A and B are shown apart, each in its own frame.
Chain A
Amino acid sequence: MTKVHQIISDTTLTYHQMMLALARLAESEDSTSLPRTEEELKAMEDGILCDLNEGLVPYRPRYIIPDYMKFLKEGSAFLDLKAPQDLWEACNNLLILYRHVPSITSFPVYLGNLDDLLEPFVLQLDEKEAKKCLGLFLTNIDRTLTDSFVHADLGPKETVTGRLVLELTEEMQLAVPNLTLKYDPEVTSDEFAKLCLKCMLKTAKPSFADHKTFVSEWGEDYAIASCYNGLTVGGGGFTLPRMRMYETALKSSSIDDFLDNVLPHYVKLMCGFMDKRVRFIVEESNFFKSNFLVTEGLLELEKFTGMYGMVGLAECCNYLLGIKDPNKGYGHNEEADALGVRIMDRLSQLVSEHVAPYCDAFDHHYRLHAQVGIDSDGRENSPGARIPVGSEPDLASHILHSTKFHKYFPTGIGDIFKFEETWLNTPEALLDIIKGALSQGMRYFSGYLENNDVVRVTGYLVKKSELAKLDAKQQSLNNCSIFGVGARDTANALDRRVEAYEGAD
């Protein structure tokens, strides 16, 4: 059976999923437009360099962060839309634009800071009508933007819109969109933060992003998109290949050899690989020349950067120290953690020394990203700098560990904690923890209750009931359910430690 035939006869694919699969197949046919060097191909074969399924011929930036505020103020000539006058028009305009925002997944990975965008319109209406409109807006997003990397932001200020979005998210139990609260304890009220926490426990979102940290790196106009990716509004991320640290470590004879020779060699290789892709997107594909998002000023080339992804810091450290048992290594062992810090210092330095094409707003540098892993990674490379699933230490040690590593990753890193039911009754206790965590250097905190239907896999959300559909060979509307099945089965991603009630009598 040909590959095309295989795709079109797969009964678990929806029509849209089938089209995307065919498009990926077509792209993979062209190995001449942007050829890969022998060395790059070898590094890919060795599992060190991974292009994260971006394809051979990139025809749009991986992540696109349109300036939706500008769009709502000015409308769009290309879409023949005027600036909206009320909430119904604003939501309708946004839903139209979302269908025209590409990305690696062909769905928008960023929907805007929904409360900033919609609050003036929400305040025009009585709350009942506003809630109805927002409910339809969210339902439309969930059923048409059927991909869990679709992401919207809230905060840091409390708004009526924010509160209504939380209420609706809880009531409707949607997997899409993913949500982030931009959290600043000095701006966000405790009451609003606790509402967000309750919603997070019940629906696995929003996650909490440290507003101050992101502002210091990206300025006020930053976005959290896709899983947890920090980027600039009006810009985005060109490309995100990954370095798999465990396989990289396999090439070295010692820790010093790794830090002095192997790591610099492969960082140089991967940066060169990124440079070529960035140039191709900008210079060869039509995107920055003719796409209306660019020509109408909703995107600016200068505000894009490349994302340098990595996975498997835990396994890299454990391998270099000869540690076989993950319960005694990285995350449990001061020596392994100290090596992790040394490696990250070195990796940051090497990446920051590379002068990248374009990336004007970032002084021509790429930015590090702790990638959340893909289903085929199995157990050899834990996501980003995370402690391996199933080997997590207690909550306090886990958070203290995270605070050492989050600073290295402006384009995103996050940790996920699974909680037992009692935490729902004590949001103030969880808020104490999050406040402490963010003040100590953690930038992104996600959580959910162990018995939820909507759960967080590695960064994206899936419904366990949708995974069950795929298990039964039925179709799932959401594109990410299939990744969820893979991550669950090959990486045990749903088996993370539960923060349980441990009180004695």
Chain B
Amino acid sequence: MKAPINRIIPFSNVDGPGNRMAIFFQSCPFECMYCHNPETIRMCIACGTCVQNCPVQALEKKDGQIVWDEKKCVQCDTCIKVCPHLSSPKIKWLSTNDLMEEIKKVRLFIRGITVSGGECTQHRDFLVELFSKVKQLGLTCLIDSNGSYDFSGDSELMEVCDGVMLDVKATNPLFHQNLTHTDNQLVMKNLKFLLESGKLEEVRTVILPTYPDQNEETVRTVSRIIQGKCRYKLLRYRPFGVRKEGLDFCGQIITSEFEAERLKSIAKDEGSDSVII
């Protein structure tokens, strides 16, 4: 079994407790306006735009697929910038054994792995196989998810997963729809299910510079539900890497510290401490 991997960060201090290897899977059912890695959203359709634009000829089209020559690549990211399809030609199809090789190299430096994306739960079977192997090394396995997968219906995955870090992008259904092009019913169901089953490692909400009412509604609702029983991170929106459509929707500025502090105190009023990032 193989899965499309966009990126591996061997040491990450921002993807769960301690030092962890973060593995980013390709493709996501959401299309968040503020996504700052929009190239992780879709699978490549081999349109070839990137091939023509690569300044060092590190890409070519072969048998209907884009082939990336990692040795020639100078990591200028031109291919990502010109991709009309929110994708990347620099995806590697890896097996769980391939990943285990990478994990074993750094196992003594990390507490565990965090799978992210894109949306890693798109590759659920792969995760079950990977986690089962990783746990034999004594490492923990966390999932970073947008909540689009029904965790309550997958006891096998929950068995080998140590916790989920859940994005709650908006609690207002309509705003969630506008922001991500999908509805949030499942996200809210997951929030409650994971909290009750003791698998909610952390909740994250990106707070925006241009929608104070939506910020407030989301932070208030989430805080009321979690009641300080898990970490709650408020991530200030940053425009870097956001595509044009997203900039038009979310704005060109970083969410102010003032707004972050306001929301932090709202979370506190509703019974949850939070951390501003």
Contact = CB atoms under 8 A, between A and B. Distances in A.
Contacts of A423: 13
Contact of B37 (A422, A440, A504): A504
Contacts of B161: none
A502 B108 contact: no
B15 A437 contact: no
B108 to A, nearest CB: 4
A503 B109 contact: no
Contacts of A502: 9, 12
B151 interface: no
B7 interface: yes
Interface stretch (A29-37, A88-96, A395-403): A395-403
B117 interface: yes
A125 interface: no
B255 to A, nearest CB: 14
Contact of B17 (A428, A437, A439): A428
A268 B227 CA distance: 72
A428 B18 contact: yes
Nearest to B10: A396
Given A396-B106, A504-B117, A433 B9 contact: no
B36 interface: yes
Contacts of A499: 11
B13 A430 contact: yes
A426 B14 contact: yes
Nearest to B7: A504
A426 B19 CA distance: 9
Given A432-B110, A433-B19, A426 B13 contact: yes
Contacts of B232: none
A436 B14 CA distance: 18
B14 A422 contact: yes
Contact of A440 (B24, B36, B108, B117): B108
A432 B22 CA distance: 15
B106 A503 contact: no
Q: Which of A397, A399, A435, A504 has the most CB of B within 10 A?
A: A504
B36 to A, nearest CB: 5
A190 to B, nearest CB: 11
Interface of A is mostly: helix
A395 B34 contact: no
A501 interface: yes
Contact of A503 (B6, B14, B110): B14
Contacts of A399: 109
A504 B109 contact: no
Nearest to B106: A396
Given A396-B11, A428-B17, A430-B13, A503 B22 contact: yes
B185 to A, nearest CB: 22
A175 to B, nearest CB: 27
A311 to B, nearest CB: 28
Given A395-B10, A422-B13, A504-B7, A433 B109 contact: yes
B18 to A, nearest CB: 5
A440 B108 CA distance: 8
A504 B22 CA distance: 9
Contacts of A439: 108
B105 A400 contact: yes
A505 B36 contact: yes
- Give chain A's interface residue range (CB within 8 Å of chain B): 20 to 34
B116 A436 contact: no
Interface string A381-400: 00000000000001111011
A429 interface: yes
Interface in A410-439: 422-423, 426, 428-430, 432-433, 435-437, 439
Nearest to B146: A505
Contacts of B13: 422-423, 426, 429-430
A395 B12 CA distance: 10
B22 A437 contact: no
A396 B20 CA distance: 11
A152 to B, nearest CB: 29
A92 B37 CA distance: 59
A432 B109 contact: yes
Interface string A482-505: 000000000000000001011111
Q: Which of B19, B34, B116 has the most CB of A within 10 A?
A: B19
Contacts of B236: none
A212 to B, nearest CB: 15
Contact of A436 (B9, B32, B37, B106): B106
A436 B108 contact: yes
B145 interface: no
Nearest to A420: B13
A433 B34 CA distance: 32
B35 interface: yes
B20 to A, nearest CB: 8
B134 to A, nearest CB: 16
Contact of B109 (A422, A426, A437, A505): A437
Interface in A90-104: none
Contacts of B12: 429, 502-503
B133 interface: no
Nearest to A439: B108
A429 B9 CA distance: 14
A131 to B, nearest CB: 30
Nearest to B24: A504
A67 to B, nearest CB: 37
Interface in B94-118: 105-106, 108-111, 116-117
B215 interface: no
Interface in B108-143: 108-111, 116-117
Nearest to B206: A505
Contacts of B19: 428-430, 432-433, 436
A439 B107 CA distance: 12
Given A503-B9, A505-B35, A396 B17 contact: no
B111 A501 contact: no
A439 B110 CA distance: 13
A413 to B, nearest CB: 19
Given A394-B10, A395-B10, A396-B10, A503 B15 contact: yes
A501 B14 contact: yes
Contacts of B206: 505
Contacts of B6: 504
A403 to B, nearest CB: 10
Contacts of B17: 428-429
10 contacts: A394-B11, A395-B11, A400-B106, A429-B11, A429-B17, A432-B19, A436-B106, A503-B12, A503-B15, A505-B36
Top 3 nearest A-B pairs (CB, nearest first) are: A436-B109, A396-B10, A429-B13
Given A436-B109, A504-B7, 16 more contacts: A394-B10, A396-B11, A396-B106, A423-B13, A429-B13, A429-B17, A432-B19, A440-B109, A502-B9, A503-B22, A504-B6, A504-B22, A504-B36, A505-B34, A505-B35, A505-B37
